[in-house]
Structure 1
Amino acid sequence: MKEQNILAGFSTEEAATQAKKALLEAGFSTVQIDHVGQFPGSGVDSILNPITGEFSSLASLTLSGDFPSGRDASVLAAADPDASGMADSGDDPFTPFLLTAVVPADRNAEATEIIRSFGGMV
Structure 2
Amino acid sequence: MSEKNILAYFKSPEEAEGVARKLNALRALEVSVDRFSRYAGEGYDPMNPVAGKISSLSAITQDAAITNTSAGILTAADPAASGMSHGGQGGPTGHDILLTAVVDESIHHQALRIVEEAGGLT
The two structures have a TM-score, normalised by structure 1, of: 0.85
- Which runs of 5 or more structure 2 residues have no equivalent in the other structure? none
- 1:47 Cα deviation after fit: 4.1
Aligned residues: 120
What does residue 74 of structure 2 align with?
Answer: 76
The two structures have a TM-score, normalised by structure 2, of: 0.85
1:1-122 aligned at under 5 Å gives the runs 1-44=1-44, 46-68=45-67, 70-89=68-87, 92-122=92-122
Secondary structure class of the residue paired with 1:56: coil
Equivalent-residue separation in structure 2 for 1:18 and 1:55 (angstroms) = 38
- For residues 61-109 of structure 1, the C-alpha deviation after alignment (integer angstroms, 9 at most, x for no partner) is 22222333x3022112112121122222399335211101000011101
- Which runs of 5 or more structure 1 residues have no equivalent in the other structure? none
- 1:35 Cα deviation after fit: 1.4
State the AA in 1 paired with 2:114. Answer: I
The percent of aligned pairs where both chains have the same amino acid is 35
Instruction: Give RMSD over aligned pairs.
Output: 2.1
* Greater displacement, 56-65 / 28-37: 56-65
Secondary structure class of the residue paired with 1:39: coil
Contact residue 9 and residue 120 of structure 1 kept, 8 A? yes
Equivalent-residue separation in structure 2 for 1:74 and 1:56 (angstroms) = 6
State the AA in 2 paired with 1:86. Answer: M
Contact residue 11 and residue 97 of structure 1 kept, 8 A? yes
State the AA in 1 paired with 2:41. Answer: G
Secondary structure class of the residue paired with 1:17: helix
